[in-house]
Structure formats: structure tokens, C-alpha cells
Amino acid sequence: MDTNLSDKGMRLLKKGKRGFFRVVFSRLGIFVVLLLIQLFIPIALANWFGQYLPHYFSINLAFIVGMVLYLLNSGFDPTAKITWLILIMLAPLFGAFMLLYTRTDFGHRAIKKRLEILYDETNQSLKQDPEVMHELGIANPESVSLSRYLRRSGCFPVYKNTKVKYFPLGEDKFEELLKQLEKAEHFIFLEYFIVAEGLMWGKVLDILARKVREGVDVRIMYDGTCEFSTLPHDYPKRLQKLGIKCKMFSPVTPFISTHYNYRDHRKILVIDGHTAFTGGINLADEYINKSVRFGHWKDTAVMLQGVAARSFTLMFLQMWNIDEKVPEIEKFIRCYPVPENQCSGFVIPYADSPLDNEKTGEMVYIDILNRAQKYVHIMSPYLILDGEMEMAIKFAAERGVDVSIILPGIPDKIAPYALAKTHYKSLLDSGVKIYEYTPGFVHAKVFVSDDVKAVVGTINLDYRSLYHHFECAAYMYGTECIDDIEKDFLDTVSKCRPVTYETIKKEKIGYKILGILMKAVAPLM
């Protein structure tokens, strides 16, 4: 770790044994056990109760029919229904138990209940300034409609006079991040999906440890999957010995964690309530190209300076206070001054929760697509689309809108990469332009439209982000940085190879076969 921490601090943070085997005995363990049971029962029946096999098959058929009728009348996304239908028809017992296990979600009931209470208690913590809403209505009535939807989904006011700076690479964000951390006087809140020891986290941690000694309240929360991928299980205790308050969100618990669902995929950093960062960039060296995994890592972020940063403060505190008896929210939102910024445009920071039955992230993207007049330019690491999103993308292109999507040229995961390619021909048929980033992997989550609208955040175009994870983003209308976002998109296109019918024909047969197979389980990807 490249850091200036004391020898004591280094000893405390020295890498320990990862909780790797915890994942083996969580959802994967359930899958394996149930699958073995499913395979064992027919064999046992055949050996022990051969004369009763007709009865078994009759009961099995009735069970399958009942499950099919249940799924057809459920509120699942249509594509998810197909996945569960296939699973239950192939392995009825296994599929039914997995459906029950996923639907009851007993491993996360306490979190769900607590978050629902916190959302209710804090839904009015940030008031909407009616004058700002009126000004947005004059500038763009369509954005007022979207803001009403977001306000209905959570405590997400519209702000003006917030300066937004766009970072086209992780290296750019990292440089600015270090400068802003040095300015902290009251508090620093960090919430990240991935934290990994190395140059990036080492330099950040050095500043955090020093700021704690200066009396700054420093808190960090990271997703529980880090404990078996990047950090030792006792890492929060190690940071706490340095004076840093630290929590894992939803640690992976053997046999009761549906650990692929309800992950905290957000990336939030707030300084003193007036400066906030979000985007795709985690606290690990590949995000700043100091370690190379999949070629050049293309990622993006934004920094908000002004009153809009308070929304990210609230988002962090809502998650932090899951296990706190007396939530500390008003103190951090009201007690510290926010400098006035005179700048153009409007900003709506917002979050998406898998617990509220609202597909907020997807609805914002679809709203941009449906209202676009000239273009919608998109960067995403994954393209695993449900029917609604695919239809919105295709319809925009068929209306004559320039819909262009940049995807990775080098994948981080083969299965999602192959699955993305199954959408290519259908999208090309509607006039959508698709590009693959030749130098490496695109991890950016960006929508920019008509030179006036943009979204930068953590929300991918896949089922994980749109249905199963906690996410966040910033919606912008008329902010000065939108020109920078569009310029970055065009610059990135120049480094891409276009997808054509000819390139689809020449695609490796392995990707084609894998994509066809993965289509059946797309909602689980």
C-alpha cells in the first residue's frame, strides 16, 4: 500500500485472510444443495418406489402447471417470468425452492424493514424550493414532469446554483478528489461498492487518517461483497482503530444471504455537505489505470459543489443509519454552511432502491429517450435489456433520433459480454449505432441528450442495476458541463470500432452460443 500511515496503522491494515469461503456457503451453497436434491429424488423414486412413478409424474405435472399459472399472474418483469418458467419446467423442486428463497428474502428482511422506516422518516428532510421549480418550468416543462416523478420516488429536490464538474477519466477524478479531501473541516462521508488496497485507496486513507486527527468526522461504508474479493472480514475494526468509523453494508452471511441482490452499488463521497462526487469510479487501482486488468479502463464521474450536495449527504446517512438507534441526519444537513455558487442549469441528485417497487433509474433513462429530439448518446459497461428499455431505445432511433451506445471492446466478464451481443442485430435494425471501445473496458454510466440533458451515476443498463441494487446518479439540465460530456462521448467514439451486420456475422461462434444460452437467465445476470 502506497501511503504515509504510521507503522501502527500499516500493521492494523495489513491484508488478512479474505472471507472467500463465505460466498461458497451463501447463495451458491443453496443452489448446489437444491440441485443435488432435485437430481437425487427421481433416482431414489425409481429405485425404491418404481410402482408409484406414475403418481409421482402426475403430481409433478400438476405442480408445474400450478407454478406456471402463478408466474404468469405475478408482477414479475416479462423477461424474468420466462427465466423462472424455464427453471421450474426443467427442475420443478429446485426452481420452486429458489423462487421461494428469492421472494421471501429472509436474509435481508431486517434491512428492508429498517430502510423503509428511514425513508419514511427522512422523506421531507430536504424541502423543494418552489422558486427553483418555477424557474425549471420556464426553462423546460418536460424536466418538471420528471422532477415530480423523482420527488414521488424519494426526497430528491431540484437545485440550481450548483457547480458541476465532469471527469472523463478516473485519473482526473482522483486528482481532484485528493484536493477536496484536504479541504475538509467538519465531515467526510464515503460510500463505495468496491474498496481495494493499493495506490488509490492508500493515498485517500492517508488523508482520512490525518483528518481524523484534526477532528474531522470520517465515515466509510462499503458493500459486503468486498470481504471475499478485496478486503479482509475484520477491515472495519482495523479502520476504527485509526479513528475512522467504518461499516460493511449487508455482509455476506452463510446460507441466508441472497448476496447477488440488494448490493450497495453506489459511489458517493461528500465533504462538509457542500461538495459531492458520484459516478462509476470505485476506490481501486484499475479505475485510475494504475493496474491493468482489461486494457484501458474508461470511467467517468461528476463533482457537485453547492446545495445539491446535501442530497448525497442524505443518501449516505439513510444507509449509514440502518443500525443506528438515533439517526444523525438534521445535524449534517442543516448545521454546516453551503457556499453560494452563481451558475447556470439545474441538478437533481437521486437514488434508486430495490425495495420500493420503483424502477427509478430505468424510468429516468426512458424519459430521456422518449423526449429526445436530436440525439441520445450512451456509455455503459453492460447491455442486458428488459423489454421496456429495449423498446424505448429502438423507438427513439425509429423516430429519427441519433441513438448511439458505447460498450466495452475488452470485457470484464464473458457471459454479460456475450449476452449484450444478442441485442445488437435488433438494435441495428431500428437504426441504433453501437460502438465497442477498442483500447479496453468502458465502465462509465452516462446518458447525454440534445446538448441540454445528461445523467452521470452508477446505473448500468442491466438487470442488476435496474432491479436489484442500490444506485445513485445526478440528472442535469442546462449545466455547463453537458458540453464536456458530449465532447468526451465523441472523443471516445473515435477510439471505438463500429458494430455492423458484417461484424455480427464474423463474431466468434463461442460468443454466439453463450449469448443464446445466457438469454434464458438474463434477469439473473
Give the strand pairing for 301-305 and 163-167. Answer: antiparallel
pLDDT digits (tens, 9 = 90+) for 337-374: 788 788 999 999 999 998 887 899 999 999 999 999 99
With 50 as the cut, is the pLDDT of residue 259 above it?
no
pLDDT class of 486 with cuts at 50, 70, 90: very high
* Higher-confidence position of 332 and 395: 395
- In this predicted model, what pLDDT tens digit does every residue of 18-46 receive, in sequence order? 444 444 444 455 556 666 666 676 666 56
- Over residues 44-71, the mean pLDDT reads 72
**pLDDT tens column, 406-437:** 999 999 999 999 999 999 999 999 999 999 99
Question: pLDDT per residue over 124-137, tens digit each?
Answer: 889 999 999 999 99
Cβ–Cβ < 8 Å for 440, 294? yes
Kindly report the average pLDDT of the chain as a whole number: 87
More confident residue, 116 or 45: 116
Give dist(CA 436, CA 279) in Å, integer.
Answer: 20
φ/ψ (deg, to 5) at 132: -65, -45
Please state the pTM of the whole predicted model: 0.86
Type of residue at 277:
F
Kindly indicate the confidence band of residue 325, based on its pLDDT and cuts at 50, 70 and 90: confident
Q: Mean pLDDT across the stretch 60-87?
A: 78
Query: Is the Cβ–Cβ distance between 450 and 478 less than 8 Å?
Result: no
CATH number of 109-346: 3.30.870.10
Residue 521 binned pLDDT confidence (cut-offs 50, 70, 90): confident
C-alpha 80/C-alpha 96 separation (Å) is 14
pLDDT at 29: 57
Domain with CATH 3.30.870.10 in the chain: 109-346, 360-524
Poorest-confidence range of 112-121, 269-278, 340-349, 466-475?
Answer: 112-121
| DSSP string across 262-311 | S-B---EEEETTTEEEEES--BSGGGGTSS-SSBEEE--EEEEESTTHHH
The CATH number of the structural domain formed by 360-524 is 3.30.870.10
Q: What pLDDT, on a 0 to 100 scale, did the predictor assign at position 30?
A: 58
What share of the chain in percent tops pLDDT 90?
A: 62
Q: What is the model's pLDDT at position 108?
A: 66
Q: What pLDDT was estimated at residue 388?
A: 93
Ranges 67-76, 221-230, 280-289: which has the least confidence: 67-76
pLDDT over 90 (residue 89): no
Specify the pLDDT at position 82.
76
Residue 67 has pLDDT above 90, yes or no: no
Question: What's the pLDDT at 123?
Answer: 83
Q: Could you tell me the pLDDT band of residue 525, with boundaries at 50, 70 and 90?
A: low
Q: Which three cell numbers stand for residue 343?
A: 451558475
414 close to 436: Cβ distance less than 8 angstroms: no
Burial grade of 256 (CB within 10 A; 0-12, 13-18, 19 or more): middle
The 10s digit of each residue's pLDDT in 157-188 is 999 999 999 999 999 999 999 999 999 999 99
Count the helix, strand and coil residues of the chain and give each as a percent rounded to the nearest 5.
50, 20, 30
Residue 6 has pLDDT above 70, yes or no: no
Give 398 or 50, the one with higher predicted confidence.
Answer: 398
Contact 519, 491 (CB under 8 A): no
Q: Return the pLDDT at 60.
A: 73
Type of residue numbered 401 = V
For residue 16, pLDDT beyond 60: no
The per-residue pLDDT for 112 is: 78
pLDDT score at 104: 67
What is the pLDDT at residue 31? 57
pLDDT higher than 90, residue 50: no
